[in-house]
A and B are shown apart, each in its own frame.
Chain A
Amino acid sequence: MAQASAMRTRARGGWRWLAFLPLVLMLVLGGVFWLNMGKNPAELPSALVGKPVPDFDLPPLPGRTDGLAAADLRDGQPKLVNVFASWCVPCRIEHPVLMDLQRQGISVVGINYKDEPAKALAFIDQLGDPYARIGADRDGRAAIDWGVYGVPETFVIDREGRIVLRFPGPLSPEIVRDRILPALAGGEE
């Protein structure tokens, strides 16, 4: 009898830790959620970070002589590649930020995504032209080579023409300060 009762007590003691399992699980989950708070789930990991820019060669918008090709991104200067379109509302929102970057002497080039040339020209006419060069990607094929899935998107390119950072969505002064400028500084090394 005493033996059976001792066995019962032992069995119960061995299981007592289980009572804390829900608490532990909840704390772990809470920690995971806490760490991921403030992250944008739409910001997908890019397959291209650390790789050289894809091979592409885009014609200029009509009336301009620039165009944009992969070779233009390997001129020894770190730069920003901004994918934009006149029909894209967030592009209008981020536009002053790009103008500001250009004024600071940062080289910004543009890929005009699936746009009507006349409207694209009117867009930079009206809002200002922050782009050292613009390539017109009318069918969006070059953008697919860049892994673009929506406009605007901005890439930071180091001096050797490698992609350092990809940022989907409109730039804000905070994002420029916290992510773009540090990536550019890293790209100068």
Chain B
Amino acid sequence: MTRWIGAALLAFLLVLAPDGGTPLLAVTPDEQLADPAQEARARELGRELRCLVCQNQSIDDSDADLARDLRRIVRERIAAGDDDQAILAYLTDRYGEFVLLRPPVTAATWLLWFGPLALLLAAGATAFLWRRRSAMEQEPGLSAEEERRLDRMLAEAGPDAPLPGPGGRPSTG
């Protein structure tokens, strides 16, 4: 049993090992740049870019033809000396901001960025006010008059008497 777990763990680590390549990515060796620093930049950018065919994958994750073309363009621009901003601009000029998996914060996207936080704050505020309200709603304690009546009843019944039921009659329990 432990041996199996060990083997599985080893296999897992091998898959993750840097020299084992990047088996989870669609990037094939022949399209990679020779310079590791440039290739790292290409990967960085590839993760930020949407494959427009599959829409919810990055171009690094997608096997689609267009994703491969876009990966090639990213590497061409890097090799040509473009900075990251210029490469992203090159693609947004053609495909719009939709090509960016992380949309920039603009008037059109602020709800996307801050909506969840606003919702969380609203829920927190509601919960807080709700608690405060139910605390306020708690029945006030007995009045002085009620306390006196209770003491009188207990004294009349004696210490061993059964507690009175709802109707004031001794309970039959």
Q: How large is the interface on A (under 10, 10 to 19, 20 to 34, 35 or more residues)?
A: 20 to 34
The answer, yes or no, to whether B87 is at the interface (CB within 8 Å) is no
B73 touches A144 (CB 8 A): yes
Give min CB distance, B100 to chain A, whole Å: 11
CB of A121 closer than 8 Å to a CB of B: no
Task: Judge if A97 is at the interface, Cβ distance under 8 Å.
Answer: no
Closest to B91 in A: A144
Contact of B65 among A18, A48, A54, A114 (CB under 8 A): A114
Q: Of B52, B55, B73, B94, which is within 8 A of A146 by CB? A: B94
Closest chain A CB from B140 CB (angstroms): 6
Taking the complex as formed, is B98 at the interface, i.e. its CB lies under 8 A from any CB of chain A?
yes
CB within 8 Å of A: which B92-150 residues: 92-98, 126, 129, 133, 136-137, 140, 143
Complex CA distance for A45 and B93, rounded to whole angstroms? 12
A137-155 CB mask vs B (1 if < 8 Å, else 0) is 0011100111101100000
Q: How far is the CB of B101 from chain A (nearest CB, A)?
A: 14
Q: How far is the CA of A12 from the CA of B134 in the complex (A)?
A: 10
Complex partner residue of B94 from A47, A114, A150, CB under 8 angstroms: A47
B7 within 8 A of A: no
Given A114-B65, A150-B53, also A44-B98 (CB < 8 A): yes
Measured CB to CB, the nearest residue on chain B to A41 is B55
Residues of chain A lying within 8 A (CB to CB) of residue B137: 8, 11-12
Contact B136 A145 (CB under 8 A): no
Q: Produce 1/0 per residue, A15-55, CB < 8 A to B.
A: 10010000000000000000000000010111110000010
Q: Is A93 an interface residue (CB 8 A)?
A: no
A185 located at the interface, meaning its Cβ lies under 8 Å from any Cβ of chain B in the complex: no
B interface SS class: helix
Tally of contact residues, B, Cβ under 8 A: 22
A6 adjacent to chain B (CB < 8 Å): no
In the complex, what residues of B have CB within 8 A of residue A149's CB?
A: 52-53, 66, 95
Contacts of A144 in B (CB 8 A): 66, 69-70, 73, 94
- Contacting residues, chain A, for B133 (C-beta < 8 A): 11-12, 15
Main secondary structure on chain A at its contact with chain B? Answer: loop
Q: How far is the CA of A150 from the CA of B65 in the complex (A)?
A: 10
Whether A44 contacts B66 by the Cβ 8 Å rule is no
- Collect the chain B residues with CB atoms within 8 Å of residue A48's CB: 94
Q: Which residues of B contact A (CB under 8 A)?
A: 52-53, 55, 65-66, 69-70, 73, 92-98, 126, 129, 133, 136-137, 140, 143
Q: List 5 A-B contacts (CB under 8 A).
A: A11-B136, A48-B94, A147-B94, A147-B96, A149-B52
13 additional A-B residue pairs with CB within 8 Å, beyond A44-B95, A139-B69, A149-B95: A15-B133, A42-B55, A44-B52, A45-B96, A47-B94, A140-B66, A140-B69, A146-B94, A147-B95, A147-B96, A149-B66, A150-B53, A150-B66
